Amino acid sequence: MRQARQRVVTADTLARAEAAYLGLALGDALGATVEFMTPREIAHRFAGAGGVHREIIGGGWLHLKPGQVTDDTTMSLALGQAILAQDGEITRLGCARAFDSWMRGKPVDIGNTVRRNLLQFRRSGFPTAAPSEHDAGNGAAMRVLPVALATLDWPEYEVRDACRIQAHVTHHNPVSDAACEFITLAVQDFIRGASLREVYRIRIAQLLRDQPAFAFRGRPRRVNPSGWVVETLQAVLQALLDVGGFENCLVDVVNRGGDADTTGAITGMLAGALYGSRAIPARWLKALDPGVRERCIAQARALLA
C-alpha cells in the first residue's frame, strides 16, 4: 500500500491540471454534437457558421442539452472518485466497482466493449477482462486522465502499471495499453511544463517506435475516425501538432466527425495541459454544465493533492 501524502503543487501545475480536466469535458461536449457525422455533413449542418462547428450547443444523436457531457467525462469522474476513495491507490477491484456503479446509473451513452466486459465482471466478480485482439477501442484511453493526475510524481513504470490496471477492466489489449500510457505520460509532461516539441521528441517518437500502426505523419488527414484507438489517436495528434492553440485544435478535431466526442475529449485533456487555463475560451466554460465544471475542477485539485 502506497502511503498517502501531500504533494507540493505549484500554481502553474494546478492550473494546467484543472485545464486538462476542463479540456476533457469541453472537448467531449463540443464533439458530441457532431458525433458520427461526416465532415461533409458537418459543413452542411453549420453552413450558416462558415461550415464549421465551434460552439457548445448540445444536440447530436444523443439529443444532449447544451453543455451536457457523455461517457468520456462521466467515466473519468467515476474513476477519479474511486482513486480518491482509496487514498490515491489504483486497484483493479476499485476501478471495476466504480465503472460498474457508473453503468448502473444509466449513463447517457456506453460503448459496446465497456458494457460487455462490465457485465462479465458482474457475473464473475473478476475485475480484469480477458485479453482480446478485438478490444483495441478508445474506451480506456478516453477516461485515463485521473490516473495521470494521481500518479504525477510516481516512477514511470508504476504510472504505466496504473494505466493498465484501469484499462484492463474493459480493454485488455496491447494497442489500447500503448495509447493509454502515451496519453497519461504526455499529459504529465505538459503539466510539468514540457513543450510540444519536447513531447514529440520523447513520447510521440517512442509511441511510433513501439506501435508503428499509430503513424500519422505523411498520411492523409484522418477524417471520420472510428472507435479504434489507432484512428482516434491519429486524428488527435494531427490536430494537436498541425493546429496551434487550444480552441483551434479542438475545433479542428471535432470537425473531422466520426467518434468526435472522444477525439475531442482526448485532444482537450492534452491541449488543456499544454496551453493552460488562460487558453480556454470563456464562452465555452460558461456553456459547460455547471455541475460538471465544478466536479472537474474539484477532482483535479483533489487528485493532485
d(CA 250, CA 124): 40
pLDDT tens string 217-261 = 889 999 999 999 999 999 999 999 999 899 999 999 999 999 999
Cell numbers representing residue 147 in the block: 490516473
Confidence check: pLDDT of 72 > 70: yes
Task: Enumerate residues 6+ apart whose C-beta is below 8 A from 84.
Answer: 299, 302, 303
Could you tell me which CATH number the domain at 11-304 has?
A: 1.10.4080.10
pLDDT tens, 199-219? 999 999 999 999 999 999 889
* Phi–psi pair at 52, nearest 5 degrees: -125, 130
Record the cell numbers describing residue 200, joined without a space.
514529440
Its pTM stands at: 0.96
pLDDT tens-digit map of 3-30? 555 677 899 999 999 999 999 999 999 9
Share of the chain above pLDDT 70, in %: 98
C-alpha to C-alpha distance for 254 and 235, rounded to whole angstroms: 9
Q: What is the pLDDT at residue 282?
A: 98
Question: Of 171 and 4, which is predicted with more confidence?
Answer: 171
Task: Provide the phi-psi class of 33: left if phi over 0, else alpha when psi is between -120 and 50, else beta.
Answer: alpha
Domain ranges in the chain are 11-304
- Set of cell numbers at residue 229: 484507438
Tens of pLDDT, residue by residue over 110-164, are: 999 999 999 999 999 999 999 999 999 999 999 999 999 999 999 999 999 999 9
CB burial of residue 244 (10 Å; 0-12, 13-18, 19+): exposed
> Where residue 103 falls among pLDDT bands split at 50, 70, 90?
very high
Work out the widest C-alpha separation in the chain, in whole angstroms.
57
Per-residue confidence (pLDDT) for residue 6, from 0 to 100: 64
Count of C-beta atoms within a 10 Å radius of residue 188:
24
pLDDT at 218: 86
Q: Cβ atoms within 10 A of the Cβ of 6, count?
A: 7
Report the SS3 class of residue 232.
Answer: helix
Q: In the prediction, which pLDDT does 83 show? A: 97
Q: Which of 147, 149, 114 is nearest to 14 (CA)?
A: 149
Res. 2 pLDDT band, cuts 50 70 90: low
Q: What's the confidence (pLDDT) of residue 8?
A: 78
Helix axes of 156-167 and 174-191: crossing angle, nearest 10 degrees: 130
Give the three cell numbers for residue 21: 480536466
Structural Rg of the chain based on CA atoms: 18
Residue type at 209? R
Nearest to 292 by CA among 107, 56, 75, 73: 73
| 279-295: average pLDDT | 98
